[in-house]
């Protein structure tokens, strides 16, 4: 069980691919910083490998004007929720 942190936009699709190779059946992906753009419906393909186990950091989505535009399948978590995810998952891995 692993928490993956990702901070790059879907334009960096090489990262999304490498992450998908390491993504396990019980893992979770948190989109922060410019990775918030992956939570737009138009970028759904970039998240297809992660089976709906994807969250986005609310404050980063908000500053980018994305809160009203997010894909339905993506959960929104605040910074306290980010910390809680790192507590729940015993390990984390940051992709950038």
Partner 1 sequence: MTDDETAPAADTQPISLDLLVILRHPPHGSSWLREGVDVALVAAAFGQAVGLLFQGDGVFALVEGQGAGPLGQKGTHAQLAMLEMYDIERLWVSASALRARGLTLADLALPALALEADEIDHLVHAQPRTLLF
Partner 2 sequence: MIDRPYDVLSYALLVHAAPYSEQGALSALRFAQAAVAQGHRVSSVFFYRDGVHNASMLMAPPQDEVHLAEGWRSLAQEHGTELLVCVAAGLRRGLMSAEESARHGREAHNVEPPFVLTGLGQLVDAMLGNDRVITFAP
Note the residues at the interface with partner 1 (CB under 8 A).
Answer: 2, 7-9, 11, 14-15, 17-18, 20-24, 33-34, 37, 40-43, 59-60, 62-68, 79, 91, 93-96
Looking only at the bridges linking them, the beta strands covering 91-95 and 54-57 are unpaired
The one of partner 2, partner 1, a second copy, none whose footprint includes residue 65, by CB under 5 to 8 A per kind, is partner 1
Among 11, 63, 88, 94, binds a second copy (CB under 8 A): 11
| Torsion angle of the four alpha carbons 48, 5, 71, 82, in this order, in degrees rounded to the nearest 10 | 140
Tokens of 69: 């535009």
């Amino acid at each position: 069980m692993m928490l993956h942190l990702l901070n790059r936009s879907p334009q960096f699709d090489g990262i999304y691919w490498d992450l998908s190779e390491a993504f396990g059946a019980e893992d979770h992906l948190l989109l922060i910083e410019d990775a918030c753009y992956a939570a737009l419906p138009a970028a759904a393909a970039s998240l297809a490998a992660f089976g709906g186990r994807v969250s986005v950091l609310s404050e980063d989505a908000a500053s980018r004007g994305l809160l009203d535009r997010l894909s339905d399948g993506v959960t929104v978590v605040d910074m306290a929720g980010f910390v809680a995810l790192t507590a729940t998952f015993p390990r984390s891995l940051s992709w950038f």
